[in-house]
Structures are given as C-alpha cells and as structure tokens.
Amino acid sequence: MLKVPKSLRKELKKPLGDLHKSIDLIENPLAEHLSENKLLIGIGDVTTRKLVEHGLTPQICVVDNLIERKPVQNELNHTDNIKYVDNPAGVITEELTNLLYESIDTATMDNPVIIVVDGEEDLAVLPCIIKAPKDTLILYGQPKEGIVLVNVDQAYDKAQEYINKLIKE
C-alpha cells in the first residue's frame, strides 16, 4: 500500500493535465481519440457519467459512488464487466493497482470495464498514468473547477515523481 504523506497532499490537488470547464469543450478531440481505438479512462462518478452521456464511453471507468464525499448511485450500465475493489482514502492499495493494470491490458471498446471502488478513487490516476500506453487519455474531475484531461505521455514523469514520494506501508 502506498500512502500520501501530508507534505504531498496540497501538490496532488493540482491538475495533472489541462483543466477544462466542460466536456463539451473537448468532445470532438475525445471522439476522434476513441475512433482511433485509443484507450480512454474516466475516473470519478461525475466525469464518467458525463462521458457516457456524451457518447464518449471510456474503455475503463473508475467510480466510488461518491460525489464530493456524498453517496450517489451511479447509473452506468454500458457493460456487465464490473469489478469491485477496496481502496481507503489517501492511499493506493496493491489490489487497486493490480486491477487497474489488468484492466488496462484487457479493456476494449467491445469489452469495457467499470471498477467500483469501496473507499476513494481519487489517486487511481497515478497508476493509470504509469501503466497505460503513451497515447492514452485520462479524464477526472477537479472539484468546483471542471474536468482534467491528462495526456499520459506528457504526465508520466510527474506521476512517477509523485509515486516515488508516497510512503510504502
């Protein structure tokens, strides 16, 4: 298990990619990305729901059934390939990392996966960046600001730097 030290919490709140006010503003590049059969990962309940509503269904969706720490029922039903994992807040468990890595290796447009996290999915972006192909796009919500679009190739070094600073327990 990797735990976030207090000294890194503020830094991890900064976007790892480009911040956009709405998916509407990046819908065309995302559609083109999917049409080229490149991997798209959605992290977070609101982000993932909005992607699916726009017909931009990610091959991997990571949700925790919480929006700003309040319980919600996600209504994702685009696949029966649903996996469950425990991952407490402020950590990245080995189980979550393994499931993300497996999903990156196996998820396709015809066989997408939904990962439902019991706990918190906020840090899932880091192992996704490390494992995903360089041309992967990852989207996650930035509370009260919008949506972050991460280009894996551009974010890899920063993600690795963060992971190196996490405390191994």
Q: What is the mean pLDDT of residues 140-161?
A: 95
Report the C-alpha gap between 122 and 141 in whole angstroms.
9
User: Full-prediction pTM beyond 0.85?
Assistant: yes
Backbone angles phi, psi at 139, to 5 degrees: -120, 140
Distance CA 70, CA 67 (A): 5
At 95-105, the pLDDT tens digits run 999 999 999 99
Q: If you average pLDDT over every residue of the chain, what do you get? A: 92
**pLDDT tens-digit readout, 31-80:** 999 999 999 999 998 899 899 999 999 999 999 876 656 656 667 777 88
Q: What is the pLDDT of residue 71?
A: 59
